[in-house]
Amino acid sequence: MDTSTIRSIKELPPEENMLPGTAACAGCGGLLTLRYCLKALGDKIVIVNAAGCFTLLTIYPFSPFRNSWLYTAMACAPAGAQGVRDALDILIKKGKLDPEENLKVVVLSGDGSAYDMALSSTSGAIYRNLDFYYICYDNEAYGNTGFQHSGASPFGSRTGTTPPGKEVPVGSQLQKKNLFDIWNSHKPPYIATVSPAYPVDLMNKFKKAEQFKGPKLFISHIPCPPGWGFDPSRSVRLAKLSVETGLWPLKESVHGEVEHTYVPKKFKPVEEYLKEQERFSHLFKPVRQEDALKSIQEMVDEYWKKHELLP
Amino acid sequence: MLRLRFHGRGGQGAKVASRVLGTAAFLDGYNAQDFPLYGAERRGAPITAFTRISRDDIMERGLVSDPDIVIVMDETLLSDPQAMPLSGLKKGGIVFVNTPLSPLETKEEYGIEDHVITLDITKVSLDMIGKSVLSSLAAGVASRIAGIGEEALKGALEKELSGIISDRDLLGKNTEAALYCYNTLVPVQVKTAETIREKENVITLPFETARVSSPAINATGNTPLRRTGNWRVFRPVWNYDICTRCMTCVSRCPEGCIRLNEDGYPYADYDNCKGCLVCAEECPVKAITKVREIHSRSEEGDQ
């Protein structure tokens, strides 16, 4: 195992394990995350893909991957991963597969699957200490089918099913689920939050995760140009803003112990992040919804106060 | 009855265009039908939308397979085997193409023998609205060709767009741009025969076993063959005098289609660059500029 840490983007491995020509939207933040993840994981992997945006990456007869790919329904990717893992283990044990040819099992899912439908099968997989990687690309709604509300949609956002109106001008009234804490309460060996704007942090987390046997879970907050409503060129900028405003804390947990891997020296106001997106535009015009904006900022401040990291 | 078919890419507004046209026809006293067809939604994928307009009751249902008018909102679709915008077009039918080329040049470029009308509505959209969203403009074009009145078009734009656009200013710009397109085009008489044009390029494949017909099932990493570069409105262009070879663009490209040349300078694989321009936005020294893509003229430059 290579334990050397990467310090700059110049040191990112040059190998590309995902090729261009995918059906993903221009400027897809999830695709950028996946590209980095596959650089870290290498090509000796099996991807177990839950239904979602990334279903569209592999459309017969095309595949952008250099590795195998298995497609499952939204609720059962971790169960599919268990089957693949078991099959590999049995083949190796029986001597039918050279241990050299062993593969890493990787679940790839969107937030709809990870936060909502597959939560029970994920819980089961962590509980059984299944040796796998889980990557959730979280664009905070069901992006593939028209951006409907999911368990990951944040308070105050407009989604396909929570449009701001006369009765409820704020859009979504619900708070985003805290998937990191839900996973962490299972005490798996490794969990991390990552961002496509911080590839060095992302790569090093994957490197660190390699040493653990058992569930290794990653949640990546990713900008979605059509869903969030911004120009595709601003994708990385928005991913960066979500971290710099404190909305998306970059952290990891080893056997339940949480540590933040990046704390902004000076937090930007969340408004800077919100005002760049169409899905929050109703908070600013025709009238500024001061209460909603204030409560979003307070929610962020409270988080960092709780962890005693607010400067 | 007039049957129209819109061909666009996800995000361009083909669905809304057909809807505005349907409403405009209705406001002008016709019966109308409009509906889109798309698979799994995503930006950039070919989509189709349909409108039927008639003085009489419309009893016909389903896809429009033999249109009188075809509106091509993205000219790269003309050579896309998945979209095939001209298939089923009736003799004497009209093809509108969104391109900077003249009708004659378009006919030559794409080998079209039918009546071709062209207008660079992407340019109109960029100039008048500030971004490349073509729904209202394509509706304006289609209304003109279908012979719908200007007042009806205005009414339809107000009715349909006010439900989608909350910004009154933006709605005004859209209406203005649509009317500009409407008034730029010369009115035409649509006189189609009931027979379908002779030049039909549907390919029929003989039955083969899976091993022969689908050898790609075991292929890996073959998506570059799809050449998604035709999704671009703008292309990134590097200025090597300024470039510091910092690798930022190579690292930040979501598709991973920026590579390094022998001297370590980055260049894009234009076959697959979708033109998101994250590279230009992230470049610390601003060595990347965005240049409007003219697909029909860029082919030779690419090779």
Size of interface A-B (CB pairs under 8 A): 132
Is the Cβ pair A12, B42 closer than 8 Å?
no
pLDDT given for residue B108 in this prediction: 94
pLDDT exceeding 90 applies to what percent of chain B? Answer: 70
Alpha carbon distance A108, A125 (integer Å): 14
| Chain A residues closer than 8 Å to B166 by CB | 281-282
- SS (HEC) of A136-192: EEECCCEHHHCCECCCCCCCCCCECCECCCCCCCCCCCCCCCCHHHHHHCCCCCEEE
Whether the pLDDT of residue B201 is over 70: the answer is no
pLDDT band at B200 (very low <50, low <70, confident <90, very high): low
Q: Residue B93, Cβ neighbours under 10 Å: how many?
A: 23
Q: Which of A37, A45, A47, A62 to mutate to probe the B interface, most B CBs <10 Å?
A: A62
Point out which residues pair with A110 in neighbouring strands. Answer: A137
Q: Residue B203, Cβ neighbours under 10 Å: how many?
A: 6
| Chain B residues closer than 8 Å to A164 by CB | none
Residue in A16, A27, A66 closest to B256 by CB: A16
| Chain B residues closer than 8 Å to A23 by CB | 42, 44-45, 226, 228
Residue B156 backbone phi and psi in degrees, to 5: -65, -40
Residue in A55, A233, A281 closest to B281 by CB: A233
| Chain A residues closer than 8 Å to B280 by CB | 233
Alpha carbon distance A157, A164 (integer Å): 8
Question: How far B228 CA sits from the closest chain A CA (Å)?
Answer: 5
Give the pairing of strands B31-37 and B46-54: antiparallel
Region B79-98 average pLDDT? 90
Residue B130 backbone phi and psi in degrees, to 5: 100, -10
Whether the pLDDT of residue B301 is over 90: the answer is no
Question: How far B260 CA sits from the closest chain A CA (Å)?
Answer: 10
Residue of chain A whose alpha carbon sits nearest to that of B226: A21
Q: Would you report the helix, strand and coil content of chain A in percent, each value rounded to 5?
A: 40, 15, 45
Residue A114 backbone phi and psi in degrees, to 5: -65, -45
Alpha carbon distance B226, A22 (integer Å): 8
pLDDT given for residue A271 in this prediction: 97
Lookup: tokens for A246: 């404190």
Residue of chain A whose alpha carbon sits nearest to that of B260: A14
pLDDT given for residue B300 in this prediction: 43
pLDDT given for residue B197 in this prediction: 76
pLDDT given for residue A126 in this prediction: 97
Angle at A228 between CA A227 and CA A234, to 5 degrees: 120
Residue of chain B whose alpha carbon sits nearest to that of A53: B42
Is the Cβ pair A144, B269 closer than 8 Å?
no
| B55-59, B206-210, B233-237: range with lowest mean pLDDT | B206-210
pLDDT given for residue B272 in this prediction: 93
Q: Which residue has the higher pLDDT, A249 or B41?
A: A249
Alpha carbon distance B257, B266 (integer Å): 10
Is the Cβ pair B272, A64 closer than 8 Å?
no
Region B227-233 average pLDDT? 85
| Chain A residues closer than 8 Å to B246 by CB | 10
Whether the pLDDT of residue B249 is over 60: the answer is yes
Alpha carbon distance A124, A121 (integer Å): 5
Q: Which of A22, A31, A240 to mutate to probe the B interface, most B CBs <10 Å?
A: A22
Is the Cβ pair B231, A29 closer than 8 Å?
no
Can you spell out the DSSP letters for B221-248?
S-GGGG-GGGG-SEEEEE-TTT-----H
pTM for the complete prediction? 0.88
The sign one gets for the Cα dihedral A152, A156, A158, A163 is positive
pLDDT given for residue B85 in this prediction: 93
Whether the pLDDT of residue B94 is over 90: the answer is yes
Consecutive H or E run containing A108 = strand A104-110
pLDDT in tens, chain A (311 residues): 455 788 999 999 999 999 999 989 999 999 999 999 999 999 999 999 999 999 889 887 889 999 999 999 999 999 999 999 999 999 999 999 999 999 999 999 999 999 999 999 999 999 999 999 999 999 999 998 889 999 999 999 999 999 998 999 999 999 999 999 999 999 999 999 999 999 999 999 999 999 999 999 999 999 999 999 999 999 999 999 999 999 999 999 999 999 999 999 999 999 999 999 999 999 998 899 999 999 999 999 999 999 988 76
pLDDT band at B243 (very low <50, low <70, confident <90, very high): very high
Alpha carbon distance B164, B109 (integer Å): 36
Question: How far B20 CA sits from the closest chain A CA (Å)?
Answer: 21
Judge whether B12 and A26 are in contact, CB under 8 Å: no
Please name which of B135, B161, B150 lies closest in space to residue B187, comparing C-alpha atoms: B150
Is the Cβ pair A19, B256 closer than 8 Å?
yes
Question: Strand (E) positions, chain B?
Answer: 2-9, 31-37, 46-54, 69-72, 94-98, 115-119, 234-238, 258-260, 266-268, 288-292
Residue with tokens 């960066």: A240
pLDDT given for residue B43 in this prediction: 84
pLDDT given for residue B40 in this prediction: 66
Alpha carbon distance B185, B145 (integer Å): 8
Residue B79 backbone phi and psi in degrees, to 5: -110, 20
| A261-265, B56-60, B200-204: range with lowest mean pLDDT | B200-204
Cis peptide, bond prior to residue A286, ω within 30 of zero: yes
| Chain A residues closer than 8 Å to B223 by CB | 19-22, 57, 62-64
Is the Cβ pair B222, A234 closer than 8 Å?
no
Q: Residue B180, Cβ neighbours under 10 Å: how many?
A: 16
Please name which of B211, B230, B210, B131 lies closest in space to residue B173, comparing C-alpha atoms: B131
Cis peptide, bond prior to residue B266, ω within 30 of zero: no
Judge whether B49 and B15 are in contact, CB under 8 Å: yes
Lookup: tokens for A136: 């959730």
Q: What is the number of alpha carbons within 13 Å of residue A74 lying toward its C-beta?
A: 15
Q: Which residue has the higher pLDDT, A207 or B293?
A: A207
Q: What residue ranges do the domains of chain A occupy? A: 14-307
Architecture of the domain spanning A14-307:
3-Layer(aba) Sandwich (3.40)
Is the Cβ pair A35, B254 closer than 8 Å?
yes
| Chain A residues closer than 8 Å to B228 by CB | 20-23
pLDDT exceeding 70 applies to what percent of chain B? Answer: 93
| Chain B residues closer than 8 Å to A67 by CB | 220
Q: What is the number of alpha carbons within 13 Å of residue A168 lying toward its C-beta?
A: 13
Is the Cβ pair A233, B277 closer than 8 Å?
yes
Q: Which residue has the higher pLDDT, B210 or B121?
A: B121
Residue in B45, B225, B280 closest to A21 by CB: B225
Is the Cβ pair B269, A20 closer than 8 Å?
yes
Question: How far A75 CA sits from the closest chain B CA (Å)?
Answer: 19
